[in-house]
Structures are given as structure tokens and as C-alpha cells.
Amino acid sequence: MNNYNFNLNGKVAVITGGGGVINGVFAKALCIRGAKVALFDIDKTAANRIALELIELGGTAKAYKADVLSKESLTAAYEEVKKDFGTCDILLNGAGVHHPLATTGHEQLTEENMADGRTFFDLDIEKVKWVYNIDFMGTFLPTQVICKDMIGKAGCSVINISSMNAISPTSTVPIYSAAKAGVSNFTAWLSSYFAKVGIRVNALAPGFFVTNLNKNIMYKEDGTLSKRSERIIAGTPMSRFGNPDECVGTLLYLLDPQLSSFVTGAVIPIDGGFSSFCGV
């Protein structure tokens, strides 16, 4: 390891949900190490904003409109990537969502809150399907569309984004938690299935990071912590939220064949100790 110098020169990376905050951080980390980065997002404007930032840094990146719930959309976008950059070496399945109508209004059901319209029994079925499909099928479908081109290529990896919710479901978010548990299980299955064709499959399981997706429930309007956030901090041994940059080291470790050539099927928590702390 004395001559260690990890780079991704010549590698093509596809990132789904590429217009998001954390995925933008991942894209930058890959781009500055030489990867050609294709940002897939149903909101092409958001992905293009990230792509332009990467280009200004001297990297190679491009945004593509892609719906992770449509095999046809994904196939069309990937065909464009192959024309622009070549076949994929790194697939980062980063697309994910919450929705308030797939979230309960209380941590526990009581007779008193039964009638307020915010119980498990009131969850909106269409929004439940939407959240579950994007969080699980939005990992399954890009993998099915793209990974065939990885077979027989050296140094190929799939990185899925699970969650500490997959380890222990967080109150009020049953659908997101169930979908992320599916992502962790799917990661394990894929790692075995792809092991003989040279594709390693691993996952990151972030804890609590403040993003555009959750900041309205993490903080009050006056900028102070919500009661839920106070409990999260109390249950996190490191006593703070994570910074998206703190996921980068684990991502690069899992991509680097010098460091992790014998690592596949791993789901690594990045949560300040939240998943390992029982609360007492």
C-alpha cells in the first residue's frame, strides 16, 4: 500500500436521484477523482444544477432525465450515457423519498388518537405505493437495466443507499423503513448473485442527516431543534446530526478494489452510533 493512489480515471458512474443533496456530494467525490458522472433524476433541472457545478470544478458530468420507476425511461437514459461516456462501471442507487401521507401522525396508536385521520389505517394507499416503489423498485430497476454491462469488466461496483431505518424502524415512517429493509436484503442477495461475474454490491446505511427532504421535520420554524430531533440527538452517542461529506470516505472505501476487493454484501451504518445504542 506504499504506492496507494486511488482514482477513478476512465470509470463511468451512474447516480440515480442525482439532483439530491447527499447524491450531489457523492457525485462530486467521484468526479474529482476522475470518474465521468451521469446524474439520473426525474427532475432534470436539479440534476443539471449539480452537473454544472461539477463541470466548473473541471470534472466530466451530465444530467439525464430518468424515472426510476420506468424501465423504458431508464433504458433510454442509459443508452444516452453509453453514447456520451461508455458503459457503466459504478452504479449508485441513490433515489429515495418520504411523503407525509405515507407517514403516521403519532408514534403509537391510542383510543384517543384513533379518530384524527393520521393513523396507520388512514395512510394513503397511492402514496404508500409511491414511497415504497421509489425506495425499493427505484433500486431494483436501475440495477436490472444497467448491471448487465458490468459483467466481465474489472472493478465494477453497485452501491445502494439503505438507512438505519432498515436496522430498526423509526416511528411514524413505516413504509420508508420497510422499503429500506428491502434494499438491505436485496443488497445481500445481489452480492451473492453477482459474485462470480466480478460485480461487488454493498450499501451505505446513513443515520440522520439534514437534507431538503427532512429539514422541515428536523427543525422548528425558528431554527431550533424539533422535539423529534432532540430525541434523535439524545439517542446518538456522537450527539449530533451527520454531515453528508461524512459518507464519502465509506463510499470511496467500498469502491476501491485495493481496499475492499473482498467486501461484498456489506451494509455499513454511518449514523454516529445511533443503531448500536439501546438508549441506556
CATH number, domain of 41, equals 3.40.50.720
Distance CA 198, CA 37 (A): 21
My answer on whether 67 and 166 are in the same domain is yes
At residue 216, the pLDDT reads 72
Cell numbers 450515457: residue: 81
In a domain, 74, yes or no: yes
Short-list 32, 276, 26, CA closest to 161: 26
My answer on whether 77 and 215 are in the same domain is no
Greater confidence (107 vs 92) lies with 92
My answer on whether 83 and 119 are in the same domain is yes
Per-chain mean pLDDT for the chain: 93
In a domain, 167, yes or no: yes
At residue 278, the pLDDT reads 79
At residue 228, the pLDDT reads 82
Rounded percentage of the chain residues whose pLDDT exceeds 90: 74
At residue 1, the pLDDT reads 42
My answer on whether 95 and 231 are in the same domain is no
At residue 2, the pLDDT reads 47
Q: How is residue 234 written as a grid cell?
A: 439524545
Which residue is catalytic, options 78, 176, 193, 253?
Answer: 176
Please say if 64 is a catalytic residue: no
Beta bridge partners of 270: 206
My answer on whether 26 and 150 are in the same domain is yes
My answer on whether 157 and 48 are in the same domain is yes
In a domain, 263, yes or no: yes
- pTM equals 0.93
At residue 213, the pLDDT reads 63
SS3 64: strand
Check whether 201 has a pLDDT greater than 80: yes
In a domain, 279, yes or no: no
In a domain, 6, yes or no: no
Output Rg (C-alpha) for the chain, integer angstroms: 19
At residue 212, the pLDDT reads 66
My answer on whether 35 and 103 are in the same domain is yes
My answer on whether 113 and 219 are in the same domain is no
My answer on whether 29 and 159 are in the same domain is yes
Count of the separate structural domains present in the chain: 2
Q: Give the domain range for residue 237.
A: 211-241
> Helices 174-193 & 138-146, crossing angle to 10 degrees?
20
In a domain, 174, yes or no: yes
Among 21-25, 217-221, 266-270, the minimum mean pLDDT is found in: 217-221
* pLDDT tens for each residue of 33-89: 999 999 999 999 999 999 999 999 999 999 999 999 999 999 999 999 999 999 999
Measure the N-to-C terminal CA separation of the chain; round to a whole number of Å: 41
Among 60-64, 143-147, 233-237, 249-253, the minimum mean pLDDT is found in: 233-237
Distance CA 144, CA 37 (A): 19
My answer on whether 92 and 221 are in the same domain is no
My answer on whether 176 and 228 are in the same domain is no
The answer to whether residues 237 and 277 touch, using CB atoms and an 8 Å cutoff, is: yes
